[in-house]
Each structure stands twice: as structure tokens, then as C-alpha cells.
Amino acid sequence: MRRAIDLAKLGWFTTHPNPRVGCVIADGDRVVGEGWHHVAGAAHAEVLALRQAGASARGATAYVTLEPHSFHGKTPPCTHALIDAGVARVVCGTLDPNPKVQGEGIRQLQEAGVSTFVGLLEADARALNLGFDKRMRTGLPRIIVKVAASLDGRVALASGESRWITSEEARADVQRLRASASAVLTGVGTVIADDPRLNVRDPSIDLGPRGLLRVVLDTRLRTPANARMFDTAGPVLIATCESSAGEHADGLRRAGAELLEVSADAVRGVDIGQVLRELGRRECNDVLVEAGPTLAARFLSLDLCDELIVYYAPKLLGHDAKPMFELPRIERLQDGLQFQLSGAEVIGPDLKVTLVR
């Protein structure tokens, strides 16, 4: 299973909207087949491993990180392939949260006389697909809010200058975060201040045939039609409360944007819930929020952040620089937003801190 998990990770940047899955077929302690899911629509991990194993699959054990799927989707059910190949035992890391599967794969295998076990290295197997898991259970993507800050929690100078607070190494790590996500989301404030491309530029990262969706929350359609996001490959979705019929809207569309008209929320910004439901409908598993203090704070105060990642640079920018989050005033200490530390890592000269609610 450890090897199957490592194989699944080879599809880390490419399987979206599908889950990352790895499979090892072993006859006793001899590995006879290995496979991992590369891209949606292509063969599943089990099928590739069975292909490699050939006749040796008969009577063998298949170790799969995720319960084999049991329905006809873009590819035929993997349960059938395992049964037809004569596999004697299937060991899964975790059940498939997809409502179309959810134990049905295991049931089909057992019915065909294949012995099964679920839950080997379960936490590691689940960690492969946190976004997929959440989307399958709730219809919503998993939200990761990422911030690059100084040691005193500042993300830009009062002038707006923020390039670069953190090191090249930290920014390279952000490239991998982006590539792991289905979409990167920001606010129009950041588009106007920084004109970011929000794309994956690291030549060593291959996203496969999928494009990375960039999403801008822009209530009054202030995104400039010559924003640098439009110069780079990949779709751009602008969620706005403005009519998408005007001249500026046409210019944005010509530049390559898709406009999504949404309602305003209670504070007259774009209704984030509506945007997230739409991203879930578009099969986004993980959404990386790379916004300024206004929008990032909205995600936190609406309790929409599943994971917070802060890159701290060992420098101080002073109290008039912009804070990480423009949160409403908190009167009592016990009302502070509480996180749990889930990881800390030194990246070049910086510190990467990962937190969950």
C-alpha cells in the first residue's frame, strides 16, 4: 500500500477532476503489476496494474489506494476488471466517497468471491484526495487560503508593494500548490494592485491536458481587459454582480474571460457561497485562494477555509504595512479564530506554516 500511495502521487498534478489512485498487484511478496491514474478519461490504476501483471494476477492481491469504482463512467468498472482477472484479494486504503460508489465496489467484489479489506494506511490514502473527498460529500471544493507574509504578519507595504516578501524557494513551493489545485481564486483588489498571472510557470510541473482555472471575484467589474492573466494559457472566470452585457464586459470577454453573474452578499461583495457551488459543479476539487487582506478575511470569517498556509519571511514590515487579514474587530480573546497547527517546514530562508480549523 505504501508503494501504491507513492504511485498515486505521480498523478498529483494531472488527475483532476478525478482522484489520485495507485495500485500494486502482488503475488505473495512478489510485485507483478503496478499502475497509477494519469489523467481523467485514461485507464484507471487497477487496469494498468492488471495489464502489467497479465496472467500473474490470478490468485494475487491487489492493493489499491481507493476503493475500485463499480459503475460505467468514462471507463468500465474496475471491479469487473479485477474479478475477470481472477484477483483473489483486494486491499483498499479507503472507501470511495463518490455517492455512485461508497462501498458498492467492495460489495461487488465480495459478491464475486473476492476477499476484501478496507483501511490499510487509511490516513495516508485519504490525504491523497482531500479535495475530491470534500466535493463528493458536499458538492463544494476544498478551500486552501495561502498568504505570503512578513514575520509581523504583513502582506504588502502601505503603498501596495508586495513583490516579493518571500523567497524564490517559497514562490517555487507556491507553484506546486497552484498545480495541485483545480482553480486559483483572487479578489479584484489584487488584480488591480499586482496584476498577477496566477498560472503555473515552473517548467518541471506538467499539468497534463487540464488547464488551471483562474477565478476573480469582482463585484463591479473593475478587472482591466489588459490584465496579465489574459496573456497566459488557461481559462479565466470573473464572478461579478454587474451586468455582463456592457462594453467593458465585452472587452473582458474578447480578452478571454468568462463572466459569471452572481448575487451580492450581505456586505455587497460577490456571494462567495454561490461561486463555490458553481466551482463544485464544474468539478473543482481544491481551490487555492491567493487574495489580499479583504477577500482572504472574508473566507476566514465565513468559515470557508479548510486549510490556511502562511509563508513567513524573516523580516519586519512595520505596523502601517497591510495586515494578513482585514478581520472585523474582535472584542474578546475567546472569539479569536482558532486554528490547529498541522505542519511547519523551513523553505529556503522562510517558514511555511500549515493550519486547519
CB nearer to ligand NAP: give 40 or 188: 188
> Do 19 and 128 form a contact (C-beta atoms < 8 A)?
yes
Shortest gap between Cβ of 192 and ligand NAP (angstroms)? 7
Taking CB under 6 A as the rule, does residue 150 contact ligand NAP?
no
Taking CB under 6 A as the rule, does residue 193 contact ligand NAP?
yes
Taking CB under 6 A as the rule, does residue 160 contact ligand NAP?
yes
Q: Mark 236-275 with x for binding to ligand NAP (rule: CB under 6 A) and - for no binding.
A: -----------------------------x---xx-x---
Taking CB under 6 A as the rule, does residue 186 contact ligand NAP?
yes
Interface with ligand NAP in residues 277-316 (CB under 6 A): 290-296, 298
Q: Phi/psi of residue 190, each to 5°?
A: -70, -40
Of the candidates 38, 150, 19, the one whose C-alpha atom is nearest the C-alpha of residue 92 is 19
CB nearer to ligand NAP: give 26 or 276: 276
Shortest gap between Cβ of 312 and ligand NAP (angstroms)? 11
Shortest gap between Cβ of 226 and ligand NAP (angstroms)? 18
Q: Tell which phi-psi region holds residue 274, choosing left (phi > 0), alpha (psi between -120 and 50) or beta.
A: alpha
Taking CB under 6 A as the rule, does residue 318 contact ligand NAP?
no
Q: Which of 108, 162, 180, 285 binds ligand NAP (CB under 6 A)?
A: 162
Residues with a catalytic annotation lie at 46
> Do 154 and 259 form a contact (C-beta atoms < 8 A)?
no
Shortest gap between Cβ of 268 and ligand NAP (angstroms)? 7
Q: Phi/psi of residue 308, each to 5°?
A: -115, 130
CB nearer to ligand NAP: give 35 or 292: 292
CB nearer to ligand NAP: give 87 or 148: 148
Taking CB under 6 A as the rule, does residue 208 contact ligand NAP?
no
CB nearer to ligand NAP: give 24 or 221: 221
Q: Tell which phi-psi region holds residue 40, choosing left (phi > 0), alpha (psi between -120 and 50) or beta.
A: beta
Helix, strand, coil percentages, rounded to 5, for the chain: 30, 25, 45
Q: Which residues contact 306 (CB under 8 A, 6 or more apart)?
A: 130, 134, 142, 143, 144, 356, 357
> Do 232 and 226 form a contact (C-beta atoms < 8 A)?
no
Question: Which spans in 213-261 are helix H?
Answer: 247-255
Alpha-carbon distances, residue 93 vs 20, 122, 126 (angstroms): 12, 5, 8
Give the footprint of ligand NAP on this chain (CB under 6 A): 147-148, 155-156, 160, 162, 165, 186-190, 193-194, 217-220, 222, 265, 269-270, 272, 290-296, 298, 322
